[in-house]
Amino acid sequence: MLSVLDIFRVGIGPSSSHTVGPIRIGNRFMAHLVQSGKLAQTARIEAELQGSLALTGVGHATPKAVVLGLLNLEPETLDPEEADRLVVLAYEQKVLALANGRTINFDPETDIRFAYDIMPDLHPNGLRICAFDETGGTLADETWYSTGGGFIATRKQLEKPVEDDILPVGDPVRFGFTSAAQLLEICQASGLSIDEVILANEDTKRPRAETEAALDRIAGVMMACIDRGLVRRGELPGGLKVRRRAPEIWQKLQQGPPSNEREQLFDWLNVYA
C-alpha cells in the first residue's frame, strides 16, 4: 500500500509525469552506466521523447527535465534556480558533465529528439535514452515510461509486473484497504477518522516523528513555492510565453478591502494556485 510520502513528494514542476518522471529516468540511466562500468567509455548520449512526452513536452519542460536527470540531479533535492542555471549552461556550451568528472559533447537541441510519430503501446509517456562510445557503438539502450505521480517503470516492469517491483510492498499496515468504500467501512468500525486511519498505517512504516517531520518539510516546500510565485514576475518557464499573473492579482487583493464574498475567495484561491 502506498504511503502518504509516496503520494506527496517534493519535485520540480510543472508536471509529475512530464517533468519529475523524466528527471528520474535520466538519473537512473546514468546510474546504470556507472554500475555497468560503461560510463568511462561513453562519448555520446541521445534521448528520444515518445508519445505524450514528445507532443506536450515543451510546455511541461520535459527537455529540461532530461538534461537535469542526465546531470545526476534528483527532483527531491535539486535547487530550482541552480537547475535553471545548469540547463542554460548545457544549452549554451553544448556539453554534459558526467559523474566521473569528464564532459562529453551534448547539444540538447539535437540530442534530445521529439519522436512525434512514435506512440508507445505500453504507456503514452515513453523516454528512450542511448549511450554510445567513440566509434558509435551502442553501450546502453533503455526505454522507460513515466507512469504518473513521478513513478517510472521499464518495459519489463510494465509487461510482467512482479510484487515489490515498481512500487515497494513494504510491511503490512494496520488498516488495509483497496477502495474508498473499504476505507469508510474501517472508519465506521474503528471509530477513527480518515486521517487517523492513515496515520495509524504510517506508524507501521516508520516512527511517527519521522512521518510528521517529512510532512512538515513537504508543507514548508509548498508554502515557499507559493511565496516565491507571488513575487516573481516575467514569463512562466516552458517557452510558451505565458505571463506570470500571480504578483499583479496578489497586489490588487492586498490593496482591496477584506471580503467574504465568494468571488473574492475564489480570487485568493486562484492567485495561490
**pLDDT tens string 125-174:** 999 999 999 999 999 999 999 998 888 999 888 887 654 455 555 668 99
The pLDDT tens digits of the residues spanning 7-62 come to 888 888 889 999 999 999 999 999 999 999 999 999 999 999 999 999 999 889 99
Radius of gyration of the chain (CA): 22
In the three-class reduction of DSSP (H, G, I as helix; E, B as strand; rest coil), residue 130 is classed as strand
Question: Which runs of consecutive H residues, i.e. helices, occur in 9-79?
Answer: 21-35, 52-55, 62-70
Q: What is the pLDDT of residue 80?
A: 87
Task: Write down the mean pLDDT value for the chain.
Answer: 91
Q: Examine residue 124 and say whether the peptide bond preceding it is cis (omega within 30 degrees of 0).
A: no
pTM of structure:
0.82
What residues have CB less than 8 Å from 250, skipping those under 6 apart? Answer: 230, 271
Q: Which of 63, 69, 60 is nearest to 48 (CA)?
A: 63
Q: What is the pLDDT of residue 26?
A: 97
Q: Which of 120, 187, 143, 114 is nearest to 29 (CA)?
A: 143
Q: What is the pLDDT of residue 186?
A: 98
In the chain, where are the structural domains located? 4-159, 206-272
Give the percent of the chain with pLDDT over 90.
66
Query: 4-159: what CATH class?
Result: alpha beta
